[in-house]
A = this chain, B = another copy of it.
Amino acid sequence: MSGHGLFLLLDLVGTFVFAISGAVAAKQRNLDLFGVISVAFVVACGGGIVRDVCIGAVPPAGLSNWRYLAASVVAALITIAAYPKVRQLRHPVLFFDAIGLGLFAVAGAQKALAYGHNSEVAVLLGVVTAVGGGTLRDVLLARVPVVLQREIYASAALLGATIQVVIEQLHLSQPWTPWAATLVCVGLRLMSLRFHWHLPTFAGDPARKTECDR
Q: Which residue of B lies closest to A119 (CB)?
A: B66
Question: With a CB–CB cut-off of 8 A, which chain B residues contact A65?
Answer: 120
Given contacts A59-B55, A63-B125, A120-B69, contact A32 B207 (CB under 8 A): no
Contact with B along A52-90 (1 / 0, CB 8 A): 011110111001111001000000000010011001000
Given contacts A38-B148, A142-B144, A144-B142, contact A201 B54 (CB under 8 A): no
Docked-complex contact B149 and A140, CB < 8 angstroms? no
Range of interface residues on chain A? 35 or more
CB distance from A210 to the nearest CB of B (A): 10
Interface-centre pick from A35, A55, A141, A155 (highest chain B CB count, 10 A): A35
Binding site for B on A (CB under 8 A): 26-35, 38-39, 49, 53-56, 58-60, 63-66, 69, 80, 83-84, 87, 112, 117-118, 120-121, 124-125, 135, 139-145, 147-150, 154-155, 158, 198-203, 205, 207-208, 211-214
